[in-house]
């Protein structure tokens, strides 16, 4: 089990991919491998068996995974929303096994090598305004490291937000910037405020009246996940917005 950098977005389409190969130290080879995306880390506590759940991605061909080459297992799925963890393992109740050792043994075990695990967002659901006062994270807003210059990859979602505000021309919103815990907090507050302002400036350039826009920077004072370890702080670096009027 591993924790994702950010939770999966409800209604979004993702493509997951993994490469596997059976170790030649195994007595048997199997076709059973899959990926399960879940909101909870209960697998880490052993409360549920893998074959009690239905993984989003599994080996559809059900062919034995060979030792001499890498086999790609991939697929697409729509997230329920909030999945924070990925579990990789065998999920079938009836496992398809092949003896590759040439010897009959009491223990039928198979070890797999795993490489190049990836998860790609293919399609996001249409951006919608949250209820008044509620915040909504802008999922794909990126800046240059320790700067407030918007990355080109931010254009798509900011264009969606621009069109949404044009369609709802009575709405006023507030852009909220957040950083992680690295660096001096006074600097973090300044940086988060500058980043929020950069988003406002983008919207103004696209034709949204600045009278409809406010912004604030909170530094690291409102983490998305307060318990997140220092090495996984990317989840707390974000830009949000909320309807204020």
Contact by Cβ (8 Å): 142, 131: no
Give the residue-averaged pLDDT of 68-82: 93
pLDDT, tens digit, for every residue of 207-224?
Answer: 999 999 999 999 999 988
Return d(Cα 208, Cα 229) in angstroms, integer.
Answer: 38
pLDDT, tens digit, for every residue of 87-119?
Answer: 998 887 777 788 888 777 777 778 899 999 999
The class level of CATH for 135-243 reads alpha beta
Question: Residue 75's pLDDT band (boundaries 50, 70, 90)?
Answer: very high
pTM of the model: 0.60
Max Cα–Cα distance, the chain, nearest Å: 77
Q: What is the pLDDT of residue 183?
A: 82
User: How far lies 141's CA from each of 53, 132, 198, 221, in Å?
Assistant: 34, 22, 11, 20
Edge-to-edge, what's the strand order for the sheet holding 34-38? 2-3, 85-89, 34-38, 57-58
- CA 110: distance to chain centroid? 30
Residue 146 contacts by C-beta under 8 Å, 6 or more apart in sequence?
183, 191
Contact by Cβ (8 Å): 192, 179: yes
163: left (phi > 0), else alpha (psi -120 to 50), else beta? alpha
Please state which of the four CATH numbers 1.10.1060, 2.60.120, 1.10.10, 2.130.10 is assigned to the domain occupying 2-123: 2.60.120
Give the residue-averaged pLDDT of 126-142: 91
Contact by Cβ (8 Å): 214, 174: yes
User: How far lies 15's CA from each of 3, 117, 126, 220, in Å?
Assistant: 17, 11, 18, 31
Report residue 117 as tokens.
């695990």
Question: Residue 47's pLDDT band (boundaries 50, 70, 90)?
Answer: very low
CATH 2.60.120 in the chain, residues? 2-123
Q: What is the pLDDT of residue 229?
A: 59
The overall average pLDDT reported for the chain is 88
Residues of the chain with pLDDT > 90, as a percent, come to: 54
- CA 81: distance to chain centroid? 10
CATH 3.30.1330.60 in the chain, residues? 135-243
């Amino acid at each position: 089990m591993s924790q994702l950098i950010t939770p999966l977005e409800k209604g979004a389409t993702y493509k997951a991919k993994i490469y596997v190969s059976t170790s030649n130290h195994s007595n048997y080879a199997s076709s059973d491998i899959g990926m399960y995306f879940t909101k909870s880390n209960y697998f880490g506590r052993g409360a549920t068996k893998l074959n009690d759940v239905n993984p989003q991605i599994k080996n559809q061909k059900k062919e034995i995974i060979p030792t001499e080459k890498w086999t790609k297992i991939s697929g697409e799925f729509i997230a329920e929303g909030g999945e924070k963890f990925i579990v990789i393992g065998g999920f079938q109740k009836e496992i398809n096994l092949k003896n590759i050792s040439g010897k009959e043994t009491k223990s039928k075990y198979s070890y797999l090598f795993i490489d190049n695990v990836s998860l790609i967002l293919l399609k996001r659901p249409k951006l919608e305004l949250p209820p008044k006062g509620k915040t909504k994270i802008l999922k794909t807003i990126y800046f240059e490291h320790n700067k407030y210059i918007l990355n080109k990859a931010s254009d798509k979602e900011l264009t969606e937000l621009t069109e949404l505000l044009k369609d709802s021309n009575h709405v006023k919103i507030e852009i909220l910037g957040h950083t992680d815990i690295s660096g001096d907090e006074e600097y973090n507050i300044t940086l988060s405020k500058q980043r929020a302002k950069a988003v406002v400036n983008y919207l103004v350039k696209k034709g949204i009246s600045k009278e409809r826009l406010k912004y604030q920077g909170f530094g690291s004072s409102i983490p998305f996940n307060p318990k997140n370890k220092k090495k996984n702080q990317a989840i707390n670096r974000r830009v949000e917005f909320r309807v204020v009027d």
